[in-house]
A and B are shown apart, each in its own frame.
Chain A
Amino acid sequence: MIKIENLSFIYDGGRKKALDDVSLHVPKGAFYGVAGASCSGKSTLLRAVAGIVPHFMRGRFFGTVTVAGVDTLSAEPQQLARTAGFVGEDIESQLICETVEEEIYFGLENFALPHDEIEVRAAAAMEMLSIASLRGRRISSLSGGQKQKTALAAMIALSPQILILDNPSAELDPAATENLYSALAELNAGGMTIITAEQKAGVLCRFATHMTILKEGRALASAPVQQVMDDTELLRDAGIMLPRRAELSSRLKAEGLYSGGTPLDIQQAAGMVKGIMQ
């Protein structure tokens, strides 16, 4: 679905490579997590997939990015937009209308959807992120988390084939993060390809099918999530905070008490502990 080959990028005015020879293949229907410390290039990678880099944010671009068979260099980002929906990390600037309802209608109106469908889709998207009660509220009166959900709902309503989310949980509390990722998992189960960037690996490893680890613009690993999570040394090297269950399993491994894979969720962690106790 997304094919990135030897991608390097230097922003105009920047000295360092924001991305350094990154290659990545995102299969159709995957839920791809991009993890890395601050400044590791996550946002830049996602911008490249959406065509923002290099069309709107200029710089020196090497390599190729193909999205649903279209080379992003030859296509305008607006053309890509119907296939690949992007929600950036600076949430304030992603919201362009005055009220939540208008925000969600905005894209639907632009793409000239039939009127009855606009309402159905808007309602479904708001329902999915449980913001139906915010419908008439002014954007400026919302909390950070509510803004984040609004921006996401506006994109989900467009039901793109690929959903690209940069730091979607940045403004959310743990419970809301959980709900958001459950909603994303539901969309993913419905066939949507999803790619999200997060600084922390905790939530990604539970929901993603694949993961890429970035460090200083380089992809240290790109593989199915279990494989990436098992290499705790690499995760530490990339400056990624490990979830506690991964920390625990790696210590137990070091002590020679456990030899399985890193538990991705609490159930697996419980299974690991049970196994050791027996």
Chain B
Amino acid sequence: MKGLLECDGGKGVIYAVNPSLKVIIAFAAGMSAFAVKSISGALFIALFTIAAAYFSGLGKKAVSTALLIAKISILFFVIQLLCVRRGNPILNLGFFSITDAGLYYAVMMALKLIAASLPLVLVLSATKRSDLANSLVYNLHIPFKYAFALTTTLNFIPGLASEMAQVMEAQKARGVDFEIKNPIKKAALIVPLCLPLMLSCVRRTENSAIAAQLRGFELRGRGSAYKKYPLGMKDAIAVLACAVVLSAAFIL
């Protein structure tokens, strides 16, 4: 989990595109991944995303993220597999039977989940929060208040994760064993830790909001940011490439 959505700065295609634009592109890619009709279309989007990540030095991250989402989608996979009744049965498991159509839809579902979430996760990993907020204000004319709230919420996730890790370390030091396999027992250990953690995070967020206001955050206008975010040639190429890839995905 650590560093999942954090950007450490880097070079490559994903980094070069305008922050607002790449979030829009990622959304478009994600939506398309859900809308495509075929396995090959979803696969195409996923592979293309991984390729773009590779050329931004994020190849490893892309693969590990894809695997993480794959793990999460196992549940959906199993449900799909067991519940689809159409098609020719290939395996009989008493009450349930697995059909070829069931297998097809289950694979498609898992692939779509991966292809739909990967672009956004990668783009967020290659975009500094401040750049995203500033660009939303500059390019899309969104009031800084909302842009800032959005990006701060994004920050909340890695913050919560790292704090959770700290609390679990502390509990381990007191002899609590988190390495147990049984997921229900594990949840019973972790869930009670979550609530106080959320509360302390909320309190800190309140204090942060005060600190931000005292530093004039409500006064910020469109031209205030130190960096500028003009749209250029690179961005036009990115839009074009995205349009080509997504159209191809629908045809496949």
**Chain B residues, CB < 8 A from A110:** 215-217, 219-220, 224
Q: Which of A77, A92, A98 has the most CB of B within 10 A?
A: A98
**Chain B residues, CB < 8 A from A106:** 212, 215, 217
Q: How far is the CB of B168 from chain A (nearest CB, A)?
A: 17
Cβ of A232 under 8 Å from chain B: no
Tell me which residues from 145 to 175 in chain A have a Cβ below 8 Å from any Cβ of chain B.
Answer: 154-155, 158
Interface size on B, residues (CB 8 A): 30
**Chain B residues, CB < 8 A from A77:** 213-214
Cβ of A183 under 8 Å from chain B: no
**When the two chains form their complex, are residues B130 and A158 in contact, meaning their CB atoms are under 8 A apart?**
no
**Chain A residues, CB < 8 A from B221:** 112
Smallest Cβ-Cβ distance to B134: which chain A residue: A109
Q: How far is the CB of A79 from chain B (nearest CB, A)?
A: 10
Tell me which residues from 138 to 185 in chain B have a Cβ below 8 Å from any Cβ of chain A.
Answer: 152, 155, 159, 162
**Chain B residues, CB < 8 A from A50:** 214
Interface size on A, residues (CB 8 A): 36
**Chain B residues, CB < 8 A from A98:** 7, 128-130, 155
Binds A, one of B36-44, B103-111, B202-210: B202-210
How many contacting A-B pairs (Cβ < 8 A)? 85
**Chain B residues, CB < 8 A from A140:** 159, 162
Cβ of A86 under 8 Å from chain B: yes
**When the two chains form their complex, are residues A112 and B223 in contact, meaning their CB atoms are under 8 A apart?**
yes
**When the two chains form their complex, are residues A97 and B130 in contact, meaning their CB atoms are under 8 A apart?**
yes
Partner of B226, one of A93, A115, A158: A115
**When the two chains form their complex, are residues A112 and B219 in contact, meaning their CB atoms are under 8 A apart?**
yes
Smallest Cβ-Cβ distance to B220: which chain A residue: A110
**When the two chains form their complex, are residues A90 and B204 in contact, meaning their CB atoms are under 8 A apart?**
yes
Smallest Cβ-Cβ distance to A108: which chain B residue: B226
Contacts known (A81-B216, A107-B216); A56 close to B210, Cβ less than 8 A: yes
Contact string, A76-97, partner B, CB cutoff 8 A, digits 1/0? 0110011001101010111111
- Interface residues in chain A, defined as those with a beta carbon under 8 Å from any beta carbon in chain B: 50, 52, 56, 77-78, 81-82, 85-86, 88, 90, 92-99, 102, 105-112, 115, 118-119, 138, 140, 154-155, 158
4 cross-chain pairs, A with B, having the tightest CB-CB distances, nearest first: A93-B207, A110-B216, A107-B215, A110-B220
